[in-house]
Structure 1
Amino acid sequence: MRQDSLALRLHPSDNVAIARHALASGTLLAEFDGLRVLADVPAAHKLALVPVAAGEPVKRYGQIIGFATQAVSPGEHVHTHNLAMGAFARDHAFGEDARVLVPAAEPATFQGFVRADGRVATRNYIGIVSTVNCSATVTKLVVEHFAKGDALEDYPHVDGVVPITHSFGCCIEHNGSGVQQLRRTLGGFVKHANFAGVVVIGLGCEANQMGALFMAEGIEAGKLIAPLVIQEQGGTRKTVEAAIAAVEAMLPVANQCRREAVSAAHLTVALQCGGSDGYSGITANPALGVAVDLLVAQGGTAILSETPEIYGAEHLLTRRAASREVGQGIVDLIGWWEGYAEREKGSIDNNPTPGNKAGGLTTILEKSLGAVAKSGSTALMGVYRYAEPITARGLVFMDAPGYDPMGATGQIASGANLVAFTTGRGSCFGAKPAPSIKLATNTKMFLRMQEDMDINCGDVMDGGATLESKGREIFDLMLRIASGEKSRSEALGVGNEETVPWMIGAQM
């Protein structure tokens, strides 16, 4: 980035530029032939570079982000007052840009826990999983017991006891799609590599019955998986005591686990962005994309998600599809979400959020184009349902809503053992049992929220780093966090309340 540039045109065909800093009315932009700013433009917002007629497409990244709702003059602020969504054709060109990355010449490793079945963990937790909201309090009481005093002092190789609670599990069709998806999600947590052992706690009369959950997900009770039903145990206190005893029996076994050097191919990273701003698609997201390419070159896996937040950019993914079937999977998901929004009398463009818009994003098309930059440049190898176990290596996509905790919950249930989360406005997200790394898009927010941010990607905008150097920095941090170094959210104790399954189907 040129230090003296006041605004950035991201692609030669763009008819808007992005303000690097707040631009006052009358500011002269020497880099654009002396263009003068006609009205104040906030940092990360857009201004027109050429005349744009009403109804004409507005382009950023060389892609359509919306259409002018009125004539726009050069130097004018372009935002929600004069730019809106509109229909246009996308060229899906299945597989046309699919690129198989050459394997890395030098293998990367991290210090992970290797489970008996060969799966590799980045953390060594005991999990307490609720089948239904009615057992959430009991679950939390068990976790609170082990969070006090020296309860885990004799088990230095155990990272803690983690609650997996949620607000669902009953008053739904007993064998419908809703309970099936919930079981798939909870089953993913019960079987997650980052849990050395799990206690599953139910009430007893809920729709999401313990036996049906175990049968549907192929879970077998044993020394390291203990099912408890409150009504059968005799109430709250007795269940808490039984769960504590079950955890105490698991701790010595879990404590025998030791970290050892393993290939970076065992990393499965959930890609998330939240509280995005106009810089997200310029700094943190493409820098994370560089890190994803480095990961894929090592044989690792990255999970892109949140289907409404690829809307308008889905053609960029279909062009990278490893097969027509994979590309069609993306198209089918977009069609489902369009139908869902119509049935619910909503709009996919209700996202960006007010915070996103204050940060410079105008339409979901603009947000999606920046969000897809997290995925790097390699071929898309698979498309998965929410919380479905990921079996492919490389870049994959998992269906989910645009709500970050809900998307991350599904990705972790699918097997992610690390989360990389970009943010421009300042998300305080953390996740368990998978550690979460937060990447700031701009230096101002990073300095304001340093306790929550792991890496500042704002120095790409400031001119102190390149996307390549920042991507390498992110990848190196992934390896260190996977090896046991605490992320900022872990140091703050964030992650016990962020499990939010995507609940579909009618609540009755």
Structure 2
Amino acid sequence: MNTANELPISIKMQAADNVAIVANAGGLKTGTVLDDGTRLLDDVPLGHKVALVDIAAGGPVMRYAEVIGYALEDIPRGRWINEDRVRMPAARALSELSTDPRPAPEMPPLEGYTFEGYRNADGTVGTKNVLALSTSVQCVAGVTDHVVRRIKAELLPRYPNVDDVVALNHTYGCGVAINAPAAIVPIRTLQNIARNPNFGGEVMVIGLGCEKLLPTRLIPEEQVLRLGENVAAGAEVPPSPILSLQDEAFTGFGQMIDGILKLAEYHLEKLNRRRRETCPASELVIGMQCGGSDAFSGVTANPALGFAADLIVRAGGTVMFSEVTEVRDAIHLLTARARDSDVAWALVEQMDWYDNYLSQGQVDRSANTSPGNKKGGLSNIVEKALGSIVKSGSSPIVDVVGPGERIRKRGLNFAATPASDFICGTLQLAAGMNLQVFTTGRGTPYGLSMAPVIKVSTNKTLSQRWHDLIDLDAGRIATGEATIEDVGWELFRLILEVASGREQVAADRLGLHNDLVLFNPAPVT
């Protein structure tokens, strides 16, 4: 029953909804009476749904004013609705989607906001100053890990303006069908990661020497052009950015390492000359992602991200949202937001490609939802997707970026990626992301060494329990302590502080960084 100390909090998203979620930290007990007079017939955990009306077997379960499923049995008012009581709807037929865009009017520009970033020769701006050791094949990962430890211990202290050195290790490069059509995805991903703004164009490539993926394919184009310009100007020929371990000039492991350290010093000296300078917020390229989602994701953190995303777009910046399976069941809400019919068709084509990809593996989009999602109150991928797309805000979608491709247009982009946190992060880095915002309701220590990751909690319970892992608590929205606009502005300002290097995210402070994971839909030989 209700107590005087804790009033029941339930959240209904839209007037058409016939369910609400419980927002009290410990859930609510049987017999509790909600504001609308609904009396709970079960104990309902935090974030889980309760029926606000009688729902007949086969009747629709509505949340976000959308059908998230159909009742598998009669569900009386006040009953706890979990995934076992709901049948997931069939996927919306892509052929039935309207591709006539109806984007909202563009909002007025937001001027005067800046951050301190690193300008690059190609026009991009970094939020970090990092030396990257790109690798052409997984065989060399042990060597690059070894040499990164040596560089950090022996060289990095001499270059105070360089933030870090990272190895871009991966599981690709050999034993693969390198000429298969789908091989373009991992190859262009590696090519474009090397061009990430946070590396300043000073990428060096460590290869083995016999791999299928030739190291020359991974050198950023601007680095090649710069080498040619130096020679043409009569300057000393700079060292090749490529070093192969099988080079006959090396006798033994020690000489290999010495060669890499010498090459690293050359690039560290160049990176050490870089300085932060004031840049407009229009130079931000923000990746938005969610992981360990719960029923609050679409109520608190993701709407706050959406508000911040609109601010960044208004400031002339770039935002990308991703995760195909987590937008597939809400695609009808996105095609209408496309800037033009070409963008709308591109959205549909990415959904279709991924439907076919999953079908080849004998699964469908329902494979996305995790046990943790369900414990957090999400019944299925339909409900999850409706909460996921909210982080895209309300701006027109200006372009669709394929897996491994680079951002082409400023504004709101859909970057097509799998929903895997690690693969999505890798592909967003390849797209040119210089900072990521990541929402979580269940909690994850996820982080990237290549770009700052701001972690936003969807509920206060998580932010209090993981007080030293969460950067911003959006759970205050659910309890009425803050509005979506309040937290959205707070996040926008935090993005500027982190991008400027004035504030460090928890993952960087604690050194919690995940490996890169390539998306490889091509055959492995």
Q: For residue 66 of structure 1, give the secondary structure of its aligned residue in structure 2.
A: strand
Q: Deviations over 1:213-256 (max 9, x none)?
A: 459x7862844871111111536433222111111112221111
**1:113 and 1:124 in contact (8 A); partners too:** yes
Q: For residue 175 of structure 2, give the secondary structure of its aligned residue in structure 1.
A: coil
| Pairing 1:248–2:261 present | no
| Pairing 1:350–2:367 present | yes
Q: For residue 288 of structure 2, give the secondary structure of its aligned residue in structure 1.
A: strand
**2:180 and 2:523 in contact (8 A); partners too:** no
Match of 2:508 among 475, 487, 490: 490
Partner AA of 2:204 in structure 1: V
Match of 1:299 among 316, 321, 330: 316
Match of 1:193 among 197, 206, 209: 197
| Pairing 1:157–2:175 present | no
Partner AA of 1:27 in structure 2: T
User: What is the match of residue 65 of structure 2?
Assistant: 62
| Pairing 1:359–2:373 present | no
User: What is the match of residue 45 of structure 2?
Assistant: 42
Q: Distance in 2 between matches of 1:140 and 1:454?
A: 29
Match of 1:111 among 116, 119, 141: 116
CA shift, 1:8, in A, is 1.3
**1:95 and 1:320 in contact (8 A); partners too:** no
Matches within 5 A, 1:101-500: 101-148=106-153, 151-196=155-200, 197-214=202-219, 220=224, 222=227, 223=238, 226-232=241-247, 234=250, 236-484=253-501, 485-495=503-513, 497-500=514-517
Change (3 A) 1:500 1:82: same
CA shift, 1:454, in A, is 0.5
Query: Which range is displaced more, 101-110 or 54-63?
Result: 101-110
**2:9 and 2:479 in contact (8 A); partners too:** no
Change (3 A) 1:296 1:237: same
Q: Distance in 2 between matches of 1:225 and 1:165?
A: 20
Q: Give TM-score, length-normalised by structure 2.
A: 0.92
Q: Deviations over 1:14-67 (max 9, x none)?
A: 0111111211111112x21x2111111111000111121222221111112112
CA shift, 1:117, in A, is 2.9
Count of residues in correspondence between the two structures: 501
CA shift, 1:95, in A, is 4.9
Considering only aligned residues, what root-mean-square deviation do their CA atoms show, in Å?
1.9
User: What is the match of residue 230 of structure 2?
Assistant: none
Partner AA of 1:153 in structure 2: P
**2:135 and 2:168 in contact (8 A); partners too:** yes
Change (3 A) 1:135 1:279: same
Q: For residue 419 of structure 2, give the secondary structure of its aligned residue in structure 1.
A: coil
Q: For residue 262 of structure 1, give the secondary structure of its aligned residue in structure 2.
A: strand
Partner AA of 1:208 in structure 2: L
Change (3 A) 1:124 1:80: same
Q: Deviations over 1:166-225 (max 9, x none)?
A: 12221111222343222211111211121131111111112212234459x786284487
Partner AA of 1:293 in structure 2: D
Q: Distance in 1 between matches of 2:241 and 2:139?
A: 18
Q: Distance in 1 between matches of 2:321 and 2:142?
A: 33
Q: Deviations over 1:351-390 (max 9, x none)?
A: 2100111111111010011110110001011111112010
Q: Distance in 2 between matches of 1:379 and 1:402?
A: 22
Q: Distance in 1 between matches of 2:253 and 2:179?
A: 28
Taking every aligned residue pair, what percent have the same amino acid on both sides?
38
User: What is the match of residue 233 of structure 2?
Assistant: none
In structure 1, stretches of 5+ residues that fail to align are none
Partner AA of 1:58 in structure 2: V
CA shift, 1:96, in A, is 4.4
**2:103 and 2:395 in contact (8 A); partners too:** yes
Match of 2:20 among 9, 17, 20: 17
Q: Distance in 1 between matches of 2:218 and 2:161?
A: 30
Change (3 A) 1:245 1:103: farther
Q: Distance in 1 between matches of 2:411 and 2:120?
A: 22
Q: Distance in 1 between matches of 2:497 and 2:218?
A: 35
Q: Distance in 2 between matches of 1:362 and 1:306?
A: 18
Q: For residue 383 of structure 1, give the secondary structure of its aligned residue in structure 2.
A: strand
Q: Deviations over 1:298-326 (max 9, x none)?
A: 00011111101112111111110001111
**1:200 and 1:227 in contact (8 A); partners too:** yes
In structure 2, stretches of 5+ residues that fail to align are 1-5, 228-237
